[in-house]
Amino acid sequence: MAEIKYSEKEISIFNGLINLMKEGINPYAIKVSDIAKAADIGKGTIYDYFDSKEEVISKAIVYSIGEEIRLITEKVRDKDKFKDRYYAILEIIGESHKKKLSTLGMLLSSGGIDKFYESLKDKECAISDFIDLINGEIVQLLNLGIQEKKIESKETMEYKIMAVIGSMHSFSYYYNNKSLHKKLTTEDAKDMAYKILLKSLS
Amino acid sequence: MAEIKYSEKEISIFNGLINLMKEGINPYAIKVSDIAKAADIGKGTIYDYFDSKEEVISKAIVYSIGEEIRLITEKVRDKDKFKDRYYAILEIIGESHKKKLSTLGMLLSSGGIDKFYESLKDKECAISDFIDLINGEIVQLLNLGIQEKKIESKETMEYKIMAVIGSMHSFSYYYNNKSLHKKLTTEDAKDMAYKILLKSLS
Amino acid sequence: MAEIKYSEKEISIFNGLINLMKEGINPYAIKVSDIAKAADIGKGTIYDYFDSKEEVISKAIVYSIGEEIRLITEKVRDKDKFKDRYYAILEIIGESHKKKLSTLGMLLSSGGIDKFYESLKDKECAISDFIDLINGEIVQLLNLGIQEKKIESKETMEYKIMAVIGSMHSFSYYYNNKSLHKKLTTEDAKDMAYKILLKSLS
Amino acid sequence: MAEIKYSEKEISIFNGLINLMKEGINPYAIKVSDIAKAADIGKGTIYDYFDSKEEVISKAIVYSIGEEIRLITEKVRDKDKFKDRYYAILEIIGESHKKKLSTLGMLLSSGGIDKFYESLKDKECAISDFIDLINGEIVQLLNLGIQEKKIESKETMEYKIMAVIGSMHSFSYYYNNKSLHKKLTTEDAKDMAYKILLKSLS
DNA sequence: GATGAATGAGTGTTCATTCAT
DNA sequence: TATGAATGAACACTCATTCAT
C-alpha cells in the first residue's frame, strides 16, 4: 500500500474536517470556511495546501479510513484468542456506529464507500488497498479460529470470509435497529453474531 | 403504514429525479433545473407541488424506497419454495447493485439510510415502516423454511432474522467486491450465501 | 463586416458598462456588481447572457467601437464639401477626447487598441473590420478633396491616407496637451491641422 | 525636472516589472508574487521599499518612461543632420512598437498616457515634465532643419510641432497596420513620413 | 534586512426561489 | 396552470498585505 505522507498542517486540516463529518454533517454541505474554522486557520491557508474544497474532502476521507484501519488493527492484534478478537471487532463496529462517520461501516456496507464517494479523486489508489487490509485481518482471525479448532477449515477461503463478513453485518443490523429490539442487550447481539459465525463455519 | 397519495405530476417529478440518482449523481449535487429537465417541465412547476428542493429529494427517496419494496414483495411472493424465494431475494440484491441507487441496499446497509439522509424531512414517518415491511418479509421467508424443515425453529426470532440479514450481506459483499473474486461466479456466491444461511439456522 | 446581433438586454448591459468606462474607470477594475448596477439588473442576470465578466467587457468594447463608428459615419456623410467634412471629423475627435473612452482615438492611436485589449476574445473578427471602415471613410474624404481640386491626386493612396491620419493626430496632440498651448483656440488648432493636410497633399 | 533617485533594489524591482509589461501582460493583471518572482526577491521585500502594489506599478511606469526618454535623447543627439535625426526618431518609434510597452508611443498617442494610467499616484510630478522634454527635442530637431534650410521657419512654433508630431504618427499608423500595407517596406514608410513633414513645413 | 507562510476581505459565479406573464 | 427570466444570497477561491522568524 502506497503510503502517502502528509505535512503536519495537512493532517490538522484533515482532523478538523473529520471531526465535522463525525458530527454527522453531510460532507457536501460543509463550507470551506467551516473547514478553516475547524482547523483553526485562515480560509486562504487551505488553498496553500490543497487545490480545491473537493480535494480536501476526498483526501481527508481517504486519510480517515487509513487512520481508522490502523487503529482497528492495533486494537485487535492485542487479542490472541479467536473469540476475544472477534468480540473486539464487534466492539469497534458498535463504537463506530456511535460516530456518524464510520469508514469501516462504509467499507463493509453493501453499497461500499464508492457508491457515495465516487467523486473521490484518489480512490483508485486507496480503496482497494483498504479492502485488502481488511481481508488480511479477517484471514488472520480465521487462522486463529482454525488453530483453536473453533471453526473448520474445510470450506474455501471465499466462503469463510463471506461468513465472517455476514456475521459481522448481522450484529451491525441489530445495532442499527436497536430501537426495534429493545429486549436485546448489545452483549446478546454479540453472542448471537458469534453463534452465527461458529455455526456457518462448523 | 400510512399510504401517501401523490398526484401524477408529482410522481413524474419523482421518476425523473430517481433516474438521475440511479445514474449515480450525488443527490446533493442535483440542481432544480436538472430535476425540471428530467421531468420535462418548467422549473417553476416544481414549486407548485413542493416547497423546496430538499422536499422534492426527500420525498422522491421515500417514494423510491416504497416502490422498490413493493416491487420486491411482488417478485418474491411468486416463489413458494424457501430456497427459490431466498434466491429470488439475492437476485434482486444483485440487480440493485447494478443501479447506482439501491434503496434496498441502503436499508440493509450497516450505516442505514438515515446516516446519509438524516436531512430527510419525512423520514420520521417512513423509514421504520419500511424496516417493518422488510422484517415481515423475512419472517414469512423463515416460516417457509421451517415448514419445509430446511431450517430449525429453535432459536429466537431475533437470531433468525439476524442470520438471514447476515447471509444476505455476505452475498452483497461478494457482489460489491466482484473484482477481487474473479474465480467466483454469481451463482457460486448465491450458493455460498445459502449455505451460510442453512448452517447458521441448523 | 459580420454584423453581430445582440438582444435588447445584452445591449442595455453594454450601455451601462460603456457609461462606466466613459467615466474613466479602468475596465479591469470594474466589478460585476458595478456592471449589474449600471444596467439596473441583478448580478445573476449578467450570467444568463454572458459566460464571464471578461466576456461582457470584451463584447461591450467591440460593440461600443461599432456604435461609435456608425455614429461618426452618419455625422460626416452630411457634409459634402471636403473642408466641412474634414472639420466635422476634427470636431468628433475633439468630442471624443472629452469622453474618457474614445474608441476612435484608440483605433487611431499609435498603440492601436490591440495593445490594450489584447485579451479581447473576439478581436480577431472585429478590429480589422473597423480599420477597414475608417480607411474607407478616409478614401471618400480624399476623393471629395480631389474633385474639389483642394488636393493633388498624384501621390499613392498609402501616402494620402498617412497624410490624413497624420494631420488628424496633430490636432489630437494639440487637444490632448491643451494646457501647454493656452494661447491657441480649438479653431486655431483645426485650421492648423487643415493647413498641414493641404500642404502635405499639395 | 525633479530627478528622483531610486536605490539599486528599487530599480531591480522596476526592471523585473517592466519586463513583465513588455511581454504584454496587462499591468492590472500582474500579481505581487509575479513582481517578486520577476525581481527574484521575496514578496515581503517589495513592501520594505513600497507601500502598495499600486505604488510599485505607478513608479515603475514613470521610471520606465524616464529611462526610455533618456535612451532616445542619447541615440538622437548623435545625429547632427536634420534628416538623420528624424529618421533616427522613426527608427525608435518602430522599435518601440515591437515591444509591448511603448511609453513613447503612449505619450504621443491621441489618448495620452493619462487616459490609461489615471491612477498613477505621481503623475502630477512627472508626465508634463516628459512632454516638455519631448517638445524640447522636437524644437531642437526643427532648428536643425531650419539651419539646413530643409524647412521654412515662417510658421508658428505650435504649427511646426504639430506638423512633426503628425508626420511621426503617420509613420506609426503605417507600422501599426503593417498587415494592411504589405507592399510597403518600412523604409518606404519612413520616406513618406519625411515627405509629409517636409511638405507641411515648406 | 529578507522572507514566505498565513490571513481574510473582496469578488466572480452559481443556483434555489420567485413572480409576471 | 405552467413557465423561465430575473434575482441576490451564498459560497469557492484569490491575492494584497502582514509579521514571526
Please determine, for residue B164, whether its predicted confidence score (pLDDT) is greater than 70: yes
Provide the mean pLDDT of chain C.
83
Q: Which of D128, D169, D179, D199 would you mutate first to test chain C, the one with the most C CBs within 10 A?
A: D169
Q: A20 lies in a domain? A: no
CA atoms in the 13 A half-sphere facing the CB of D174: 30
Local structure of B96: helix, strand or coil: helix
What subunits make at least 3 CB pairs under 8 angstroms with A? B
Q: Please give, rounded to a whole number of angstroms, the shortest distance from the CA of D37 to a CA of chain C.
A: 23
Residue A115 has a pLDDT of 39
Instruction: Determine contact, residues A167/A196, Cβ cutoff 8 Å.
Output: yes
Decide if B166 touches A, using CB distance below 8 A: yes
Phi and psi at residue C28, to the nearest 5°: -75, -10
Q: Please give, rounded to a whole number of angstroms, the shortest distance from the CA of D109 to a CA of chain C.
A: 5
Residue B119: pLDDT band (50, 70, 90) is very low
Q: C26 lies in a domain? A: no
Q: What is the pTM of this model?
A: 0.83
Please state the domain count of chain D.
1
* Residue for grid cell 449600471: C38
d(CA B50, CA B122): 13
Digit-coded pLDDT (tens) for D51-105: 999 899 888 988 888 888 888 889 899 999 999 999 999 998 888 776 655 555 5
What radius of gyration do chain B's Cα atoms show?
19
Residues of C in contact with D112 (CB under 8 A): 176-177
Phi and psi at residue A34, to the nearest 5°: -65, -45
Nearest to A181 among B102, B158, B163 (CB): B158
| DSSP of chain C | --PPP--HHHHHHHHHHHHHHHTT--GGG--HHHHHHHHTS-HHHHHHH-S-HHHHHHHHHHHHHHHHHHHHHHHHHT--SHHHHHHHHHHHHHHHHHSS--HHHHHHSSS-HHHH-TT-TTHHHHHHHHHHHHHHHHHHHHHHHHHTTSS---S-HHHHHHHHHHHHHHHHHHHHTGGG-TT--HHHHHHHHHHHHHHHT-
Closest residue in A to B198 (Cα–Cα): A200
d(CA C20, CA A193): 74
Cβ burial of C87 (10 Å; 0-12, 13-18, 19+) is middle
Provide the mean pLDDT of chain A.
83
Q: What percent of chain C has pLDDT over 90?
A: 50
The size of the C-D interface in CB pairs under 8 A is: 147
d(CA C186, CA D65): 29
Residue D42: pLDDT band (50, 70, 90) is very high
Cβ contact C47 with chain E strand, < 7 A: yes
Q: B26 lies in a domain? A: no
d(CA A50, CA A59): 9
Q: A164 lies in a domain? A: yes
Cβ contact B70 with chain F strand, < 7 A: no
Q: Do A195 and B159 touch (CB under 8 A)?
A: yes
CATH number of the domain within which B71 lies: 1.10.357
Residue D179: pLDDT band (50, 70, 90) is low
Please determine, for residue B96, whether its predicted confidence score (pLDDT) is greater than 60: yes
Q: C49 lies in a domain? A: no
Count of beta carbons in the 10 Å neighbourhood of residue C39: 22
Residue C94's closest CA among C63, C113, C72? C72
- The Å distance, CA of A57 to C1' of E12, is 23
- The Å distance, CA of C45 to C1' of F5, is 8
Q: B151 lies in a domain? A: yes
Digit-coded pLDDT (tens) for D140-155: 999 999 999 999 989 9
Cβ contact C33 with chain E strand, < 7 A: yes
Q: Do B196 and A93 touch (CB under 8 A)?
A: no
Residue D141's closest CA among D195, D79, D82, D200? D82
Cβ burial of C35 (10 Å; 0-12, 13-18, 19+) is buried
Q: Which of A170, A198, A199 would you mutate first to test chain B, the one with the most B CBs within 10 A?
A: A170
Q: D31 lies in a domain? A: no
Cβ contact B139 with chain F strand, < 7 A: no
**Grid cell listed for A117:** 464517494
Cβ contact C22 with chain E strand, < 7 A: no
Q: Which nucleotides of F are covered by protein (CB under 7 A)?
A: 1-20
The domain containing residue A138 runs over which residues? 62-200
Q: What is the mean pLDDT of residues D17-46?
A: 90
Cβ contact B31 with chain F strand, < 7 A: no
Closest residue in D to C94 (Cα–Cα): D110
Digit-coded pLDDT (tens) for A161-191: 999 999 998 998 887 777 677 788 999 999 9
Q: A163 lies in a domain? A: yes
d(CA D167, CA D169): 5
